[in-house]
Every structure is written in C-alpha cells, then in structure tokens.
Amino acid sequence: MLGVQLPSSFLKVLDLERLEVENSHFIDEQMTEVESDLLFRIPRIDRSGQDCYVYVLWEHQRRRDSLMMLRMWIYLGMIYSYLARDGHLLPGNKLPFVYPIVLFQGTEGWSKGLSLRDLIDLDGLDPTLDKWVPSFEIDLIRLDEDSPRITPNDQLAALGLGLMTAVMNRRVYQWLDANLDQLNTVFPDHVETVTLILSYALKSGAGLTKSEFLTIVREKGSKNMDYEIGSVADQLVKQGEAQGEARGESNIVAKLIGKGLSDAEVADLTDLPLNTIADIRHKSK
C-alpha cells in the first residue's frame, strides 16, 4: 500500500527495500485514542547516504476533525525539528523531504478543508498579504471499497481497512489471529506494506502487548516476517520506553516546581538541562 500509493516520480528515487521505522511519535497526547502515526526513513537511490521520509497518520475516526490540516502542519513542524535536532540534515544544512499521508475511513466531511489555507479567513484582506499565508497540503487516502485510490479486490487495502476497524474496537489481537495467513501470502511481494500494517497494529496499543504481538507473529508468521516485524517491534517498544521515561521526568519536575523550587534548584536535583526544566515550567502554567 505504501509503495503503491506514493507518486511514481517520488517512488523512482526511493529504495523501499531498505525502508525503516523511525523511533519517533508526534501526535498530541489527547489524540492517541483516535490517531496513530509512523515515520518511515527511506534511502534515496539517486543520492548515496541521503534519505527521504514518509509520515503516515492513521485516523481512526470516521468523521473528520475540521482542524486536521492544522494538526498535520504542526506534526510536520515537529518532524522537521526532530530531524534537525538529531543530526539528519543533508549537505548545505538542508532538511530532507517528508511526504505526509493521512489514511482514513468513511467520507463524511472529508471533502473540505484539505489545504491549511482553507482554514484561514482571508475575506476582505489585501492580496499582497498572501505571501504570509502558509500553504500546505497532505496526501489523503480513503480506505474503502469506493475509494478512487484503491483498486478492486485490493488485498492490502482491505487488510488496512480491517485493521483500522479492529483498532477502533480494540480487537487487534483477534484481527491478527484471523489475518496472518493472508499477510503471509502477500508479504514476499509487499514487504514494506505488510511492515507498515503490522507496525500500526503494534503501535496502536489497542488491546495488544509486545509479547502477544511477537508470540502470534512467530507462531503464524513466516520466518522472514518474524525477522522484519521483530525488528520493528523492538524499535517501537524502545521508543515507548523512552517516551514513558520522559513523561516520568516531566512529572517529577512539575512536582518540584509546584513546591516552589527554582529552575536551578530543580536542575541540581534532577541533573536535567535548564532549558528542559524551563520548557516543563512553561507547559505546566
């Protein structure tokens, strides 16, 4: 699905066989029940040592949030900040290209507001102000039988749609048990897509632990699938552990700030940088 849905002009410069999941998570904490996201790093064929990225947001709700484009713009800003901070800049301090995709079900309300510009009221303002209006769009892919992007009898799209439904109903383990034979069948020819689907199954956290995930994949998945998905699972779990540790540190810092300690005093007690403590203080106001 990932390879099939990307523009041909983009695909021709990508080495999809070397696709990797980045250890990053960008959605708002309050949106975790209705969204999941994955960031993929894909090496370029035409430029050795350089990468592009594909950001996939799985929207669990059938009804579109009117501010979806604003949220995606914020998420992309966070991704570029992450890439710059973690040393992923290209020669000349250029940022790598990030292709944004939203996968969703249903049709209600998804025909409007597909550009960030559509959300901004420009009525009565001079056209010369246009240069300060952000222009941003996403690749919106509907996963259902009527979608113009999905071909008839598309197994991968059907699997993706079924998984989104399972996530909403918190029945991912049951979905895996019922569909791993079919995933085994399509895996050899669609490694990156099956990896995307199973990564989403694990990362959704919808009633599925890492242990349950790896057990069922190892029992019913092919040997190659076990290797690929086991590696992805390890990456995602490490990411979750790091996020949990960061949240724990934030809670401790917030409690110390609440007791009236200065940033310098909190830094001395926690060994955290002053700028980190200042950020937590600002967010806790």
- When pLDDT is cut at 50, 70 and 90, the band that residue 99 belongs to is very high
The model carries a pTM of 0.60
Q: Is a pLDDT exceeding 60 seen at residue 22?
A: yes
Q: Is a pLDDT exceeding 80 seen at residue 259?
A: no
Quick one: average pLDDT of 37-44? 86
Lowest-pLDDT range of 118-127, 175-184, 230-239, 275-284: 230-239
Quick one: average pLDDT of 157-170? 74
What is the structure's pLDDT at 243? 46
Distance CA 30, CA 27 (A): 8
Q: Are 252 and 270 in contact (CB under 8 A)?
A: yes
Quick one: average pLDDT of 120-142? 86
Report which of residues 244 and 55 the model is more confident about.
55
Quick one: average pLDDT of 189-206? 72
What is the structure's pLDDT at 282? 67
Quick one: average pLDDT of 28-55? 78
Domain assignments of the chain as residue spans, ordered by start: 1-150, 176-285
120 Cβ neighbours under 8 A, 6+ residues apart: 133
Mean pLDDT of the chain: 74
Spatial CA neighbour of 142 closest among 71, 78, 59, 208:
59
Quick one: average pLDDT of 66-82? 86
Spatial CA neighbour of 160 closest among 218, 220, 101:
101
Q: Is a pLDDT exceeding 70 seen at residue 149?
A: no
Please state, in angstroms and as integers, the Cα–Cα distance from residue 268 to each residue in 24, 99, 253, 256, 284, following that order.
29, 42, 11, 11, 20
Q: Is a pLDDT exceeding 90 seen at residue 98?
A: yes
What is the structure's pLDDT at 102? 84
Q: Is a pLDDT exceeding 50 seen at residue 74?
A: yes
Q: Is a pLDDT exceeding 60 seen at residue 101?
A: yes
Q: Are 277 and 264 in contact (CB under 8 A)?
A: no
Quick one: average pLDDT of 79-83? 90
Please state, in angstroms and as integers, the Cα–Cα distance from residue 131 to each residue in 71, 97, 119, following that order.
21, 22, 16
